[in-house]
Structure 1
Amino acid sequence: MERRCAEESTDIGGEEEEVEVEEALWNKETIPRVMKIVCTCIKLHQRDLISLLLVSPWLHRTLISHPSIWLVIDLHEMNNAGDRLVAALSLPRYHNVKNINLEFARDIEDKNFEILKSKFVDALKNLESLNLNGCQKISDKGVEVITSICPNLAAFSIYWNVRVTDIGVKHLVRNCKRITDLNLSGCKNITEQSLHLIADNYRDLESLNLTRCIKLTDGGLQQILLNCYSLQSLNLYALSSFTDEAYKKISLLSHLRFLDLCGAQNLTDDGLRSIANCRKLVSLNLTWCIHVTDVGVKAIAESCSSLELLSLFGIVGVTDRCLEALCKCCSGTLTTLDVNGCVGIKKRARDELLQLFPKLKCFKVHS
């Protein structure tokens, strides 16, 4: 009996030793491979990282010891996002987070930001990008609270929020001095005051989206164009109140690459000729710019030789002559051209367009 017990004890000890050897070998070979993937893979999702924490204690410790892989908190479209955000920031590994994505996250409210400020006031000191798109429960108060603890914020997006007003923008410019990318698309309650605040405080602004901000007029836009001369992207989609006097000042933006003027019903060829001075334009949306003719498009073609995307959708005043001008100057760069609804253009068939613009890949911007 004693002999048998001794043999069994030896077997168990041998098995344990064998398991330890296998684990050591796994740690030596597999963990470095995993870390190589984690540190070089651009799009490894946060959920995958968290799953890896559960694989083994050794991998858990190794992952935690690399702060560079915990720079993003992505809770977009998640339920209980407010509580999840608070829970995440309670973990030391997220205390150097640079990017928080709450786009269309549910259950994110002002009170969640108030909790963050009361408990983790230093956790967001390095935050550079905050996406609050579709977070419709966030008000001016929430903007005030969250921006007060994000002094290094460079990109702020709060698309489709009708609760935010000029007061929220006032808090933003007061608390965050380094904004270069600002998305206020669908914030229908901001007015001229917000544009003046932006123009006075963000002279290094590179990207601005004012889509459907319907209370804006020429005065505020002109102030932006006069002060924010570093703009590379300007989105004025679905804003019909501006006039040529404002559009002409877009010519001041010598670095502009992306311009969306969809629905600019007051834009004329005179305004478009001025915009043609933005010679670095790569993308130009003129959908439903009903007063534009061949004259304006020709000016764009002759000056903007790097154009890759152009939409003329729904413009009845353009003809094949504008295509000839575009072919002469932009045939080697255009990859997207939308002339649907341009009844004056007869060469609208795909094959005909490809003969003029051999690099075309997309024939429809709007549907």
Structure 2
Amino acid sequence: MDLPYEVLVYLFKFLPKSDRISASETCRSWYLAANDHFFMKNKVAVFYKSVLNDEDTSPVNVFENSLVTHQNYIFNEVEISSKLNAFWDKMGESIKSLTLRNCDICEKVFVYLLQKCTSLEELNIQCCRELFMSGRLLEGKSEGLLEDNLDNLRILSLSGNQYLTDALFNRFVMATPALEKLNLSACSLQFHLGLVKKFYPPGTDIFKNPSESVLTFYFVLQFIISRAENIKCLLFSNTLIDGAALKLLSEIKNLKLESLEVHSCDQLTNTGILALTNHQTSLKELDIGLCTRVTDQSLVYICKNLVSLEYLNIQRCRAVTDLGIAELRKLKKLRSLNISQCELITKDGLEKGLCAEENKTIEDLNIHSLNLDQTALIMISEKMPNLRALDISYCFNAVTDTSIQVIFKNQILLHTLKLSHCDKVSDAGLTGMGKVEAEGDDEGPIMSTYDDASSNHKIPLGSRAEEEIVRDAKRKRDVKLMCEKLTMDTFTGYSLARMKGLKKLDVSGCNRITDVSLTYAFNFKELVNLNLSRCQQITHVGIEHLVKNCPSIEYFNLTDCYNLKDEAVKEIVKALRRLKQLELRGCNQLTDRTLEPIRSHCEKLKFLDVQGCRYISPELACSIGSLPTLHTVLMSKPGPYITDGVKNRSPAPTFLPALMRKLRLH
């Protein structure tokens, strides 16, 4: 008996995106339910490096003839010509979000698609230099042909367009009366007052005579003043905005910002932050990451006045110390915090600030590259029980087998965990099969079977590095024995496998991880993104168990895993039916035999990286591009090939012209 449509939709709401996509391939009724309006409003159709035209084989025909209507489209690095006019005629009225990124499109075609997309709520035009180069785009059309077409547009992004001018900007905003969010990041905004005097003498009506030569902050400021009651979100990242400009912006009457992003703005000073916090007290999101002039003083103002803040990014604000971090205890609504790469932050600041008391509000914490010890990480884990995402990469001294045991114990709600290049982590910590030492010892767990008293009387003849290799080998052996026994006497810790909802895991550069961890600690049915790059001890033995226990992996990074052979790749592509991206760069034991399983089993693969795989010949790497879903193949430049261990310096084979658009040579 078939379930009613409404019941299917309700059940699909509990499925992750990947599971819902797979379910939609079951039958027609499931397909329609999985593409209900409830899901389609967040679903995006992406055209990346595709050939788009009016032919029957064009990808756009799939959407034109689809049973469901897509509302959001991204065109990335494609040519949009008049041959797509039929697509806009048919689909334009239903499109609510449109992104053109690095696209080749002329002014006439752009105006045509805007006329057809009458329901647009979001328009993103990023790095389309040819579109703006002439300076005549939308000339005479913003109040004519486009009248009423963009009335519903709430979000406008013109980021990364170096040829944007006041005149071009004015034509866009005059056609968008309901604008709430404006993104001018990475545009050539000019802040010098001399330019204002040159192009706008006293008494000039700037909106009637906007400059066709430059994009000035003065003109943008006047526009924001005229729309102050509507504007809620501004993005000026990677511009030369300074403290004085931010002060002018913050003091605009009736402006009540909810979100501000000024990421990587080196000229920004404490003066601007002070004005911002005094006037824009309704802010919920603030990104001042990589603003090198921001100090503790700014953080004190933020924590004192922006009490409604939910998201804060101060990444690499290197002048921030424990004094500023201690003030974070005042932000009671803070849900997401990025304090990564702030070198002066220590455990003392965190203890007085975030960890002054139990914090059940924070869900996303990034402390990448902080100078902490393991006791600080243990403190964080115990004080923040509701974390969903945690980035502790490059915290060399903090992440040990002891501290991650506490994380595995307390943070069972995590869906994202990153501990890249934390080389003190071993199988003992990930499996929980070691006896944890006291907190002051950085060596982490010691294996219960690794008590060979007689070894203390032997004189070591090898180097310190050799001794470490021997110790790691014994540790691996002992952990494996414990995992195989699985008795209560040996199980003394907590396994990574406790995090049942983990969807993204990055353990790249953790070179003490071996097949033991892959076999006994990696068991995640919902894991989508896994990074094992530079884990050089893993082999096909561990990979075989991993792919069986983690069947949902879509993005798999195995860069510089030197011990992987063709058998490992064969196991991966056979078991991971949803695989979309596979990175094998630097796996120099792989041969041409790797490519055949990829060609046979990868039905959804979009990205393949085989750079540095010296035994994979370029002509075969080229032929793999015939896979219908594959859009990018990264491979080494053609050169001397290896035949039976001997370099063959014969000329490189001719590449297939039809596949060149899919290949990037490095």
Aligned to 1:125: 282
User: Partner of 2:234: helix, strand, or coil?
Assistant: strand
Amino acid in structure 2 at the alignment position of 1:124 = T
* Long gaps (5+) in structure 1: 1-25
Structure 2 length as normaliser, TM-score? 0.44
* Long gaps (5+) in structure 2: 1-141, 175-205, 209-222, 343-368, 432-494, 612-665
Amino acid in structure 1 at the alignment position of 2:227 = I
Aligned to 1:304: 550
Aligned to 2:425: 242
| In structure 2, distance between residues paired with 1:163 and 1:243 | 34
| In structure 2, distance between residues paired with 1:155 and 1:272 | 35
* Paired positions, count: 329
Aligned to 2:487: none
Q: Alpha-carbon deviations, 1:336-361, whole Å to 9, x = none? A: 11122223433576565233323222
1:104 CA drift (Å): 0.9
| In structure 2, distance between residues paired with 1:348 and 1:156 | 49
Larger helix proportion, structure 1 or 2? 1
- Match among 284, 300, 317 for residue 530 of structure 2: 284
Do structure 1's residue 107 and structure 2's residue 267 form an aligned pair?
yes
Aligned to 2:385: 203
Alignment of 1:66-215 (within 5 A): 67=230, 70-98=231-259, 100-117=260-277, 119-120=278-279, 123-128=280-285, 130-165=286-321, 168-172=324-328, 174-187=329-342, 188-192=369-373, 195-196=377-378, 198-215=380-397
The alignment-based identity, stated in percent, is 21
Aligned to 1:64: 227
Bigger shift: 311-320 or 142-151? 142-151
Amino acid in structure 1 at the alignment position of 2:150 = V
Amino acid in structure 1 at the alignment position of 2:261 = N
Amino acid in structure 2 at the alignment position of 1:176 = L
Contact 1:169 1:194 in 2 (8 A): no
| In structure 2, distance between residues paired with 1:110 and 1:125 | 19
Bigger shift: 46-55 or 82-91? 46-55
Aligned to 2:572: 326
User: Partner of 2:609: helix, strand, or coil?
Assistant: coil
Bigger shift: 316-325 or 190-199? 190-199
Change (3 A) 1:141 1:283: same
| In structure 1, distance between residues paired with 2:301 and 2:585 | 46
Q: Alpha-carbon deviations, 1:202-248, whole Å to 9, x = none? A: 43332233333344232544444433333222222233233334434
| In structure 2, distance between residues paired with 1:297 and 1:74 | 43
Aligned to 1:228: 411
| In structure 1, distance between residues paired with 2:271 and 2:520 | 47
Aligned to 1:267: 513
Change (3 A) 1:65 1:316: closer
- Larger relative contact order, structure 1 or 2 (CA cutoff 8 Å, min sep 6): 1
Q: Alpha-carbon deviations, 1:84-104, whole Å to 9, x = none? A: 333222124541423x21211
Contact 2:340 2:370 in 1 (8 A): no
1:200 CA drift (Å): 4.1
Aligned Cα RMSD in Å? 3.6
- Match among 598, 604, 608 for residue 363 of structure 1: 608
Amino acid in structure 1 at the alignment position of 2:585 = N
Contact 2:420 2:508 in 1 (8 A): yes
Structure 1 length as normaliser, TM-score? 0.74
Change (3 A) 1:29 1:103: same
1:106 CA drift (Å): 1.6
User: Partner of 1:33: helix, strand, or coil?
Assistant: coil
Bigger shift: 213-222 or 228-237? 213-222
